[in-house]
Amino acid sequence: MAASRFVVGIDLGTTNTACAYVDTSGKRAIEVFSVPQLVGAGEVRARATLPSFVYLAGAHDLPAGSLDLPWGSGRDFCVGELARDQGARVPGRLVASAKSWLCHAAVDRTAPILPWSAGEGVPRISPVEASARILTHLREAWDASFPEPLAAQEIVLTVPASFDEVARELTLAAAHAAGLPGVALLEEPQAAFYAWLETHERDWRACLTAVPLVLVIDVGGGTTDLSLIGARASRGELGLERVAVGEHLLLGGDNIDVALARALEARLLPAGECLDAQRFHGLVSACRAAKERMLGDPTTGEVRVSVPGRGRAVVGGALAATLTRAEVETTVLDGFFPRVPMGARPRRRADAGGGEWGLPFAAEQEITRHVADFLYRQRAAAGQPDLPLVRPAGLLFNGGALEPAVVRERLVDVIAAWHGEDGWRPAVLEARSLQLAVARGAAYFGLVRRGVGVRIGSGAARTYYLGLGDDSREALCLVP
């Protein structure tokens, strides 16, 4: 089979989906595909990302024809920016976090269960179908923009490193249902590292000689991935190897949004009362928008957040409160990235916020505790068994939750404090764009598969032990 003209990388994210590509007929440069999508009723514009939301419209939600796209009409759903914004107004018809549902082993991920809080008369779709609709929109938008169909291109689709085999197979099933049957999967932390390599092809050896072990911290909308990537000499050459991958953590920007909503809910209602599932989802969506606005614009000090009433009291029953920058930063930094000692470990608490939200969030929401635990567990794999924690020479950040500089600075400070007796601080490998790095890295990996660029070797994602069958609690490591 002849090589395709385009090499395409797709980051199917929990909150946003991004697409990057290389036109191999011209200069070998990675470009971002700006995705045409509905941004208002009947209004189509191209955006750098496609919000990963599906809105299932009711008969009278929007004017007739307002969901039409240049490549299709008569639809009763939409994907992208309008879906996200309309879903904030009518949350009971919004499908969000489909990617997180793909790895929810306690539900049938092929059954029509979303929206989780949908009322009577609202259609439901499966997590696989929701993911397929997002990818279908991307395929149709591409086909309307390029002469060569997306299905005929070499495509690399990313997944969290912590996805188990079932979640990976379901991701492939969603791609197949979207008309993209021939995709290759790549783990997101590796994609983020490939994106860094793309911008350092000429000096990566020199950079990594001084930074031989890199901790990749990837905190997206729904998952947190931790990986160690090492630069090791072999036969006189410096090569890259995946050293370790952390456990699956359903923990990310979604959890921050829920925490903000919980705090506002306590202010909006009398003590002991709470919003119903549909209105709470609306409050979460409003808090997400407010958080992104304030953390993305340092001049915005506060945002008015409201949640509509129900039934005849849609207007009169509306609730509103002001969310300040200080509240957001306190929730994010102290609630999810607090300063903890190196001996801190995740606390095994009761469910941390599933309930009406439906997802089995990680019981421990403090991400710095998970980082400490990961670095403790991976000492042998990293070749540092005598240290209390792995001491990574460098950090590479990825994911929308780490876009605010204040969050990245907190992580650097915490990790430095764990090893800071001599004033040591880890180097930071600067990424071009945390929102787009995974898609760009996936496209670069597509080139690597064609023999162009630097490949990262992959060891086993897990360490396997064989118990010795006595009470000594000793084990033989089969796959380090």
390 within domain boundaries: yes
129 within domain boundaries: yes
**Which residues, including other chains, have CB under 8 Å from residue 298's CB and lie 6 or more apart?**
none
Is residue 73 located within the same domain as residue 130?
yes
Q: How many domains does the chain have?
A: 3
Q: What is the pLDDT of residue 333?
A: 95
**Which residues, including other chains, have CB under 8 Å from residue 2's CB and lie 6 or more apart?**
none
Which of 396, 386, 388 has its CA nearest to residue 229? 396
Is residue 223 located within the same domain as residue 76?
no
Q: What is the pLDDT of residue 120?
A: 84
Is residue 26 located within the same domain as residue 131?
yes
Q: How far is CA 206 from CA 191, 202, 209, 395, in A?
A: 21, 9, 5, 16
Q: What is the CATH number of the domain that holds 329?
A: 3.90.640.10
Q: What is the pLDDT of residue 235?
A: 64
349 within domain boundaries: no
Q: What is the pLDDT of residue 217?
A: 96
Kindly state the tokens that stand for 58.
């009711």
Q: What is the pLDDT of residue 463?
A: 44
Q: What span, in angstroms and rounded, lies between the C-alpha atoms of 40 and 57?
A: 14
Looking at 52-182, list the stretches that DSSP marks H as alpha helix, in order from N- to C-terminal side.
81-89, 98-102, 127-143, 165-177
Is residue 165 located within the same domain as residue 138?
yes
Q: What span, in angstroms and rounded, lies between the C-alpha atoms of 406 and 419?
A: 21
Query: Cα angle vertex 105, ends 285, 358, to 5°?
Result: 30
Of 289, 316, 336, the one marking the end of a domain is 336
Query: From its phi and psi, is residue 362 left (phi > 0), alpha (psi between -120 and 50) or beta?
Result: beta
Under DSSP, is residue 333 helix (H, G, I), strand (E, B) or coil?
helix
Q: What span, in angstroms and rounded, lies between the C-alpha atoms of 160 and 176?
A: 19
DSSP labels for 143-178?
A: HTT-SS-GGGSEEEEEE-TT--HHHHHHHHHHHHHT
Kindly state the tokens that stand for 346.
């995740």
Query: Cα angle vertex 49, ends 263, 302, to 5°?
Result: 30
Are the C-beta atoms of residues 353 and 336 closer than 8 Å to each other? Answer: no
Report the chain (480 residues): mean pLDDT per 10 consecutive residues. 89 96 92 98 97 93 93 95 90 91 93 89 96 99 98 96 92 98 92 91 85 93 90 69 88 92 91 84 87 87 85 60 93 96 84 61 94 97 95 94 92 94 89 92 94 69 46 48
469 within domain boundaries: no
> 30-32 and 16-23 as β-strands: parallel, antiparallel, unpaired?
antiparallel
Is residue 33 located within the same domain as residue 133?
yes
Is residue 229 located within the same domain as residue 273?
no
**Helix 367-377 crosses helix 405-418 at what angle (to 10 degrees)?**
40
Task: Please provide residue 289's backbone torsions phi and psi, each rounded to the nearest 5 degrees.
Answer: -65, -40
According to DSSP, residue 42 is labeled T
Domain that holds residue 167: 6-185
Under DSSP, is residue 428 helix (H, G, I), strand (E, B) or coil?
strand
Residue 414 CB burial class (10 angstroms; 0-12, 13-18, ≥19): buried
Q: What span, in angstroms and rounded, lies between the C-alpha atoms of 216 and 195?
A: 12
Task: Spell 47-80 as b/e; 16+ CB within 10 A means b.
Answer: eebbbbbbbbbeeebbeeebbebeeeeeeebbbb
348 within domain boundaries: no
Are the C-beta atoms of residues 413 and 450 closer than 8 Å to each other? Answer: no
Of 131, 160, 185, the one marking the end of a domain is 185
Which of 132, 157, 55 has its CA nearest to residue 96? 55
Q: What is the CATH number of the domain that holds 399?
A: 3.30.420.40
Is residue 242 located within the same domain as residue 303?
no
**Cβ atoms within 10 Å, residue 403:** 18
Is residue 159 located within the same domain as residue 232?
no
Residue 79's Cα: distance from chain center in Å? Answer: 17
Is residue 14 located within the same domain as residue 124?
yes
Is residue 156 located within the same domain as residue 140?
yes
Is residue 240 located within the same domain as residue 279?
no
Is residue 73 located within the same domain as residue 143?
yes
83 within domain boundaries: yes
47 within domain boundaries: yes
Q: What span, in angstroms and rounded, lies between the C-alpha atoms of 264 and 269?
A: 9
Which of 343, 340, 47, 397 has its CA nearest to residue 217? 397
Residue 385 CB burial class (10 angstroms; 0-12, 13-18, ≥19): exposed
347 within domain boundaries: no
Task: Spell 164-201 as b/e; 16+ CB within 10 A means b.
Answer: eeebbebbbbbbebbebeebeebbbbbbbbbbbbbbbe
With 0.75 as the threshold, say if the pTM is over it: yes
Question: Which residues pair with residue 232 across a beta bridge?
Answer: 239
